[in-house]
Protein backbone atom coordinates (compact mmCIF):
# COMPACT_ATOMS: atom_id res chain seq x y z
CA UNK A 1 0.00 0.00 0.00
CA UNK A 2 2.83 2.34 0.92
CA UNK A 3 4.48 1.78 -2.47
CA UNK A 4 1.34 2.58 -4.45
CA UNK A 5 0.81 5.77 -2.45
CA UNK A 6 4.40 6.84 -3.10
CA UNK A 7 4.03 6.02 -6.79
CA UNK A 8 0.82 8.01 -6.97
CA UNK A 9 2.44 11.02 -5.27
CA UNK A 10 5.41 10.80 -7.63
CA UNK A 11 3.13 10.65 -10.66
CA UNK A 12 1.05 13.60 -9.46
CA UNK A 13 4.13 15.70 -8.67
CA UNK A 14 5.58 15.02 -12.14
CA UNK A 15 2.30 15.80 -13.88
CA UNK A 16 1.49 18.90 -11.82
CA UNK A 17 3.77 21.38 -13.63
CA UNK A 18 2.18 20.64 -17.01
CA UNK A 19 -1.32 20.73 -15.56
CA UNK A 20 -0.90 24.04 -13.75
CA UNK A 21 0.91 25.85 -16.56
CA UNK A 22 -1.44 28.28 -18.32
CA UNK A 23 -2.36 27.45 -21.88
CA UNK A 24 -0.44 29.40 -24.54
CA UNK A 25 -3.64 31.13 -25.64
CA UNK A 26 -4.09 32.47 -22.13
CA UNK A 27 -0.57 33.89 -21.85
CA UNK A 28 -0.15 35.32 -25.34
CA UNK A 29 -1.62 38.69 -26.19
CA UNK A 30 -5.12 38.27 -27.52
CA UNK A 31 -5.66 39.10 -31.17
CA UNK A 32 -8.99 40.74 -31.95
CA UNK A 33 -10.33 41.97 -35.24
CA UNK A 34 -13.13 44.31 -36.21
CA UNK A 35 -15.19 42.70 -38.96
CA UNK A 36 -17.90 44.09 -41.23
CA UNK A 37 -20.85 42.23 -42.75
CA UNK A 38 -20.67 41.47 -46.45
CA UNK A 39 -22.54 43.83 -48.75
CA UNK A 40 -24.68 43.13 -51.77
CA UNK A 41 -26.58 45.45 -54.09
CA UNK A 42 -30.31 45.47 -53.35
CA UNK A 43 -32.64 48.35 -54.16
CA UNK A 44 -34.93 47.40 -51.23
CA UNK A 45 -32.32 48.59 -48.72
CA UNK A 46 -31.16 52.12 -47.87
CA UNK A 47 -28.73 53.49 -50.46
CA UNK A 48 -29.23 50.28 -52.46
CA UNK A 49 -26.91 48.20 -50.28
CA UNK A 50 -27.88 45.21 -48.15
CA UNK A 51 -25.57 44.52 -45.21
CA UNK A 52 -25.91 40.75 -44.85
CA UNK A 53 -25.65 40.31 -41.08
CA UNK A 54 -27.04 36.76 -41.12
CA UNK A 55 -23.97 35.44 -42.98
CA UNK A 56 -21.56 33.48 -40.72
CA UNK A 57 -18.98 35.82 -39.17
CA UNK A 58 -16.06 33.97 -40.77
CA UNK A 59 -17.36 35.27 -44.13
CA UNK A 60 -17.42 38.91 -42.99
CA UNK A 61 -14.92 41.46 -44.30
CA UNK A 62 -11.90 41.70 -41.97
CA UNK A 63 -10.96 45.12 -40.68
CA UNK A 64 -8.44 46.46 -38.21
CA UNK A 65 -6.66 44.25 -35.64
CA UNK A 66 -6.48 45.03 -31.92
CA UNK A 67 -4.48 43.62 -29.02
CA UNK A 68 -7.52 43.00 -26.82
CA UNK A 69 -11.28 42.70 -26.90
CA UNK A 70 -11.58 45.94 -24.91
CA UNK A 71 -9.40 47.83 -27.39
CA UNK A 72 -11.47 46.49 -30.27
CA UNK A 73 -14.77 47.38 -28.62
CA UNK A 74 -13.53 50.88 -27.77
CA UNK A 75 -12.48 51.40 -31.40
CA UNK A 76 -15.82 50.03 -32.65
CA UNK A 77 -17.77 52.49 -30.51
CA UNK A 78 -15.52 55.37 -31.60
CA UNK A 79 -16.09 54.45 -35.27
CA UNK A 80 -19.85 54.53 -34.68
CA UNK A 81 -19.63 57.97 -33.06
CA UNK A 82 -17.37 59.32 -35.82
CA UNK A 83 -19.57 57.95 -38.62
CA UNK A 84 -22.72 59.39 -37.05
CA UNK A 85 -21.11 62.79 -36.46
CA UNK A 86 -19.86 63.00 -40.04
CA UNK A 87 -23.18 61.83 -41.50
CA UNK A 88 -25.18 64.33 -39.41
CA UNK A 89 -23.06 67.19 -40.72
CA UNK A 90 -23.49 66.18 -44.34
CA UNK A 91 -26.93 64.50 -44.34
CA UNK A 92 -28.85 65.76 -41.31
CA UNK A 93 -31.77 63.60 -40.25
CA UNK A 94 -30.98 60.97 -42.89
CA UNK A 95 -27.63 60.20 -41.24
CA UNK A 96 -28.79 56.79 -39.98
CA UNK A 97 -29.33 55.64 -43.57
CA UNK A 98 -25.80 56.42 -44.71
CA UNK A 99 -23.65 53.41 -45.54
CA UNK A 100 -20.67 54.38 -43.33
CA UNK A 101 -23.03 54.65 -40.34
CA UNK A 102 -24.67 51.31 -41.13
CA UNK A 103 -21.26 49.66 -41.56
CA UNK A 104 -20.00 51.01 -38.23
CA UNK A 105 -23.17 50.06 -36.33
CA UNK A 106 -23.14 46.52 -37.70
CA UNK A 107 -19.42 45.84 -37.20
CA UNK A 108 -18.41 43.24 -34.60
CA UNK A 109 -15.30 42.42 -32.64
CA UNK A 110 -14.19 38.80 -33.01
CA UNK A 111 -11.20 36.83 -31.84
CA UNK A 112 -8.84 36.57 -34.82
CA UNK A 113 -7.66 33.15 -35.91
First to last CA, the chain: 49
> What's the mean pLDDT in 27-51?
88
Residue 14 lies in a domain: no
Residue 11 lies in a domain: no
Residue 7 lies in a domain: no
> What's the mean pLDDT in 16-38?
63
Sign, CA torsion 13/14/17/20: negative
Whole-number average pLDDT of the chain = 82
The alpha carbon of 80 is separated from its chain's Cα centroid by a whole number of angstroms, namely 15
> What's the mean pLDDT in 81-102?
94
Q: What domain count does the chain have?
A: 1
Q: Bigger pLDDT: 112 or 26?
A: 112
Residue 57 lies in a domain: yes
Residue 31 lies in a domain: yes
Name the residue range of residue 38's domain: 25-111
Query: How many residues are present in the chain?
Result: 113
Residue 8 lies in a domain: no
Query: Cβ–Cβ contacts within 10 Å for residue 9, how many?
Result: 10
pLDDT of 16: 43
Amino acid sequence: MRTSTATLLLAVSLAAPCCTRPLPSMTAAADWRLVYPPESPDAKYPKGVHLRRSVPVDEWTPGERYASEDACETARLQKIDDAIDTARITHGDDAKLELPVRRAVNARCVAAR
